[in-house]
Chains A and B, each alone.
Chain A
Amino acid sequence: GQQVMQIPQYQHVQEGEDFTTYCNSSTTLSNIQWYKQRPGGHPVFLIQLVKSGEVKKQKRLTFQFGEAKKNSSLHITATQTTDVGTYFCAGPDGNKLVFGAGTILRVKS
């Protein structure tokens, strides 16, 4: 079945540093979605990318969808303590989503 791999598993950064998490699918995706889960909370939808090579920005967050629609990245510029949490990518597989294992981000102030 379809697999979605995400790296790194864990990253600890100093406040103000940048952060990037990468997502790779074993198959071509019709779209890719990103979610954020705060510690102790539930996943919250951030964004969906649909087009090949698409780039979308949300304030300090930049999302990219690869040209082949098999990989994606989330980049955070100048991290803040409010960015802590786990970031998941997910791609559709029929009627369900396949989630990556997530990247845990910790920010030192």
Chain B
Amino acid sequence: DGGITQSPKYLFRKEGQNVTLSCEQNLNHDAMYWYRQDPGQGLRLIYYSQIVNDFQKGDIAEGYSVSREKKESFPLTVTSAQKNPTAFYLCASSMGGTPEFFGPGTRLTVL
């Protein structure tokens, strides 16, 4: 089955800790995206990548970092510099200019 996987589904973190969210796709898509969604809110773009070893900041990149070492993988690190990290994080992929396919998401809670 082709698709996007995100792990873990739920993640708890103490204040001051960095945490990395996994996103893997086997759709052979070139582009990958990370979004943040707060309760009852829309999707805000954190980072996106059009090609391996290249990525761009989205609208709310502060306090986050990414890497794109492989086409299939686009991990997101939530750093301690992110002041309000509790949210639902969604990863998506596309061929670029085509509809995006979303993973199931990771719910991050800072304790």
- Please report A residues at the B interface, Cβ cutoff 8 Å: 33, 41-45, 48, 88, 90, 92, 95-97, 99-102, 104
List the A side residues contacting B90 at CB < 8 Å. 42-43
- Please report B residues at the A interface, Cβ cutoff 8 Å: 31, 33, 40-43, 45, 48, 50, 56, 58, 90, 92, 96-97, 99-105
Give CA–CA (A104, B43) in the complex, Å: 13
List the A side residues contacting B45 at CB < 8 Å. 96
Give CA–CA (A10, B41) in the complex, Å: 11
Give CA–CA (A48, B97) in the complex, Å: 11
A-B contact pairs, 6 of them (CB 8 A): A41-B104, A45-B99, A92-B97, A95-B96, A102-B41, A104-B40
- 8 Å CB contact of A101 from B42, B58, B97: B42
- 8 Å CB contact of B43 from A33, A41, A43: A43
List the B side residues contacting A44 at CB < 8 Å. 102
Q: Inter-chain contact count A-B, CB under 8 Å?
A: 41
Indicate if the CB atoms of B42 and A96 lie closer than 8 Å: no
Indicate if the CB atoms of A102 and B105 lie closer than 8 Å: no
List the A side residues contacting B41 at CB < 8 Å. 101-102
List the A side residues contacting B101 at CB < 8 Å. 45
Indicate if the CB atoms of A43 and B31 lie closer than 8 Å: no
Assuming the contacts A33-B99, A42-B105, A48-B99, asked whether A95 and B31 have C-beta atoms less than 8 A apart, the reply is yes
The 5 closest A-B pairs by CB, nearest first: A101-B42, A45-B99, A42-B102, A99-B43, A43-B102
- Chain B min CB distance to A101 (Å): 4
Give CA–CA (A5, B24) in the complex, Å: 31
